[in-house]
Amino acid sequence: MVTQNPTRPATSSAIGAAERVLEVKNLFVSYVTPRGQVKAVNGVSFFLRAGERMGLVGESGSGKTTTALSLLRLLQPPAEIQGGQVLLDGVDLLRLSEAEMRRARFAEIALIPQGAMNSLNPMMKVGEQLRDTIRAHESSAGSKEIDSRIEKTLNSVDLGPAVMDAYPHELSGGMKQRVCIAMGILLSPKVIIADEPTSALDVVVQRQVMETFGRVQQEIGAAVILVGHDMGLMAQFVDRVGVMYAGKLVEVGPVRDIFKDPLHPYTQALIGSLPTLQSKELFRGLSGLTPSLLSPPPGCMFHPRCPKAMAHCSVEIPELVEIKPERWVSCLLYEGSQL
């Protein structure tokens, strides 16, 4: 059973009225291989309101991390962004020069990575890495001012100033992840992308880190995209959820509505696979495998595994449409319907 987590703010009505800080429009990303193009992100569109927490969830290979990294333009070859717009307060990040994009990272849009140990330089003390982040954006800042800001930021994530003089290997996993959170909020960005930030931590430390992240996110007023596959964590932390499958968004809606009344058969399967304290039923998995993005099936990408597939699902490609306020679904079951 998923319990209410204090990290989730009770501000859904205020968030619903907030302006959009980020709009992703028709984003396409492919991995160019000798065998052909792998369409990892295939026409993804969504928006993020100021101060909102949105989750991107799906199986491994669904395209959620590729989507997240493309927003920051951190993809490496053979990945290529082949189309779309990423509008941050109206500015298309995909049209910025490399120098302009470097200035935007951390200051406007920041990343909290999945593996803190792999993200922090093992040869540099934590304080120096944080100093570099500030100096890259504010070359005129003095040393005392920089250190004061770093100490204040570390304190906000429950780390003492002594951490500045430590190397990453001298810190625990939870402490390293808090350093990454501190780096992400250091310049008070408008949007923070957290890519499975607690996947390598035990459940107790995971909760502590997410509580810290939720608190500091509210303090600076940033919007958040949380990438992951843990539906329980999504239920406890985010306001809205986008469910991805085979490079596409198949359902988007408020997190409570998604759990109470999932619409897409894939979302229903994800929710149905969660264990509860009330149910003693056998574990229910989803038959079949995710499709090859190199040679995807015709029609709806999910139809080979879908228990509700119809004849035309293997021919027609469903569009992501809003079938009732704040609920978007990409499924031919709801074609032409308004719930």
- Please state, rounded to an integer, the average pLDDT across all residues of the chain: 91
pLDDT of residue 268: 93
φ, ψ for residue 224 (rounded to 5)? Answer: -130, 140
Q: Could you tell me the pLDDT band of residue 279, with boundaries at 50, 70 and 90?
A: low
CA neighbor of 22 nearest in space, from 229, 208, 242, 192: 192
pLDDT mean over 270-294? 75
Is residue 285 very low, low, confident or very high in pLDDT (cuts 50, 70, 90)? low
pLDDT of residue 175: 94
The band of 6, judged by pLDDT with boundaries at 50, 70 and 90, is very low
The model's pLDDT over 90-133, given as tens digits with 9 standing for 90+, comes to: 999 999 999 999 999 999 999 998 877 778 999 999 999 999 99
How far apart CA 109 and CA 184 sit, in angstroms, is 9
Map out the domains of the chain with their CATH numbers. Answer: 1-108+190-201+215-289 (3.40.50.300), 117-188 (no CATH)
Instruction: Report cis status (omega within 30 of 0) of the bond before 304.
Output: no
Q: Look at residue 122 in the predicted model and tell me its pLDDT.
A: 93
* Residue 149 burial (CB count, 10 A): 17
Name the more confident of 22 and 141. Answer: 22
What SS3 class is residue 260?
Answer: helix
- What pLDDT sits at residue 339? 60
Q: Which tens digit of pLDDT belongs to each residue from 154-200?
A: 999 999 999 999 999 999 999 999 999 999 999 999 999 999 988 87
Residue 140, pLDDT > 90, answer: no
- Give the pLDDT score at 18: 73
**The two three-digit tokens of residue 313, written as one number:** 């699902």
> For residue 135, is pLDDT > 80?
yes
Confidence of residue 316 (pLDDT cuts 50, 70, 90): very high
The string of DSSP letters for 185-200 reads HTT--SEEEEESTTTT
Higher pLDDT, 7 or 309: 309
The token duo for 321 is 């449409």
Would the pLDDT of 202 be above 50? Answer: yes
Any residues with CB less than 8 A from the CB of 293 and at least 6 apart, and which?
38, 39, 40, 61, 246, 247
Cβ-count burial 1-36 (b if 16+ within 10 Å, e if not): eeeeeebbbeebeebeeeeebbbbeebbbbbeeeee
Q: For position 116, what pLDDT does the model report?
A: 74
In angstroms, rounded to a whole number, what is the distance separating the alpha carbons of residues 325 and 148?
Answer: 46
pLDDT computed for residue 15 by the predictor: 59
Identify the pLDDT of residue 14: 54
Query: How deeply is 182 buried, as exposed, middle or buried, from its count of CB atoms within 10 A (0-12, 13-18, 19+)?
Result: buried
pLDDT in tens, 220-274: 999 999 999 888 889 999 999 999 999 999 999 999 999 999 999 999 998 887 7
The span from the CA of 277 to the CA of 2, in Å, is 9
Rounded CA separation 270/15 (Å) = 26
CA distance 111 to 118: 14
Q: How confident is the model at residue 4 (pLDDT cuts 50, 70, 90)?
A: very low
Half-sphere exposure for 205 (CA within 13 Å, toward CB): 13
> Rounded to whole angstroms, how far apart are CA atoms 65 and 62?
8
> Residue 1 has what pLDDT?
34
- Cα→Cα distances 140→136, 137, 178, 282, Å: 10, 9, 27, 62
